[in-house]
Amino acid sequence: MLKKLLLALCIGGLSLSACAAENDAAPIAAPAVTPAAQQMVRQAIHSLAANVQVDSIEPAPMPGFYQVIAAGQLLYVSTDGKYAMHGDVIDLSRKQNVSDDAWARFRKAELAKVPASERIVFAPPNPKYTVTVFTDVNCGFCRALHEHVAAFNKAGIAVEYLAWPREGVVTTAGRPTPTYTEMVSVWCAKDRKAAFTAAKEGRAPAPAACANPVKDEFELGVKLGVSGTPSIYGPDGRMLGGYVTPEQLLQALKQGG
């Protein structure tokens, strides 16, 4: 579904970037997202890929467009439904990527819906910062990142892991992927943190099954635009990178205020 949407955008020549320049004229008010406007935007998106889920429709930061998040992509759809753009919008007056702002708001809101009970948390007593990390227990960079977890905590950073098996949830044959099965066993372990760390060290957990959030967290990652692991998000929803050292992560968090 996601690939179909991207392919349609690329083939159709709709992949563009746009810039908003500062001038003396009063800004043109963004169009309200009425029920009719929402229906029009959804129809425009579904004309590219019929089954794509549209997660967010807002007024765009430039006139004449709506800002849309769908299938892990941020798009701009014209208010008449005739045009779409896929790319970044730069506010030249602020020298800031407003597309990143939109993603950050969306991710922050969606991540806030995940309860602490569904995360695997490594945190100091009084953290200064909290990051969310989509992770795969078998990826090399994820394992390298977890080796620093004590140092992250020492720096005042709480690390909250969500499951994102890179192989996906099911194979093309419809069977659970090996990594998904292993991550379910981790999330269903009596001591999740111990099982998680053991898996990161190459020691597979004892098989276990229970009601678990692994599939939901994988789908959430796709919705938020995750395409690889580790993917680290700050408390404001900003993407902070993949593998980083404690020093690099602390610096990125400080820059974000």
Catalytic residue among 107, 119, 143, 166: 166
My answer on whether 94 and 123 are in the same domain is no
Look at the chain and report how many structural domains it folds into: 2
Q: How many residues does the chain have?
A: 257
At CB < 8 A and 24+ separation, what contacts does 113-120 make? 114/162, 114/213, 114/217, 114/220, 116/160, 118/162, 118/213, 118/216, 118/217, 119/160, 119/161, 119/162, 120/160, 120/161, 120/186, 120/187, 120/192, 120/193, 120/196
Nearest to 90 by CA among 19, 27, 17: 19
User: What CATH number is given to the structural domain containing 200?
Assistant: 3.40.30.10
Range of the domain at 92: 2-98
My answer on whether 154 and 59 are in the same domain is no
> CA 183, CA 151: separation in Å to the nearest integer?
24
Active site residue 136: yes
My answer on whether 247 and 147 are in the same domain is yes
My answer on whether 91 and 217 are in the same domain is no
List the pLDDT tens digit at each of the 257 positions of the chain.
Answer: 544 454 444 434 333 333 333 333 344 445 678 999 999 999 999 998 888 999 999 999 888 999 999 989 999 999 999 999 988 889 898 888 889 999 999 999 999 999 999 999 999 999 999 999 999 999 999 999 999 999 999 999 999 999 999 999 999 999 999 999 999 999 999 999 999 999 999 999 999 999 999 999 999 999 999 999 999 999 999 999 999 999 999 999 998 75
Nearest to 73 by CA among 162, 161, 9, 24: 9
Nearest to 157 by CA among 132, 108, 123, 120: 123
Q: Residue 136, SS3?
A: coil
> CA 40, CA 54: separation in Å to the nearest integer?
12
Last residue within a domain, chosen from 98, 125, 140 = 98
Q: Indicate whether 107 belongs to any domain.
A: no
pTM: 0.84
Q: Indicate whether 26 belongs to any domain.
A: yes
Active site residue 166: yes
- Look up residue 72 and give its DSSP letter: T
Q: Indicate whether 103 belongs to any domain.
A: no
- Please, what is the Cα angle at 217 between 216 and 222, to 5 degrees? 100
> CA 4, CA 115: separation in Å to the nearest integer?
32
| Cβ–Cβ < 8 Å for 239, 138 | no
Active site residue 236: no
> CA 75, CA 67: separation in Å to the nearest integer?
6
Last residue within a domain, chosen from 54, 70, 98 = 98
Q: Indicate whether 84 belongs to any domain.
A: yes
My answer on whether 163 and 249 are in the same domain is yes
My answer on whether 79 and 155 are in the same domain is no
| pLDDT number for residue 21 | 36
Last residue within a domain, chosen from 45, 66, 98 = 98
My answer on whether 249 and 160 are in the same domain is yes
User: What CATH number is given to the structural domain containing 32?
Assistant: 3.10.450.70
Helices in 116-191 by DSSP H: which ranges? 140-146, 149-154, 178-187
Q: Indicate whether 106 belongs to any domain.
A: no
My answer on whether 128 and 237 are in the same domain is yes
Q: Indicate whether 142 belongs to any domain.
A: yes
My answer on whether 141 and 215 are in the same domain is yes
Active site residue 191: no
Helix (H) / strand (E) element for 106: namely helix 98-111
My answer on whether 152 and 237 are in the same domain is yes
Q: Indicate whether 133 belongs to any domain.
A: yes
Q: Indicate whether 109 belongs to any domain.
A: no
Catalytic residue among 42, 107, 142, 238: 142
How far CA 17 is from CA of 5, 84, 246, in Å, comes to: 17, 11, 33
Helix (H) / strand (E) element for 101: namely helix 98-111
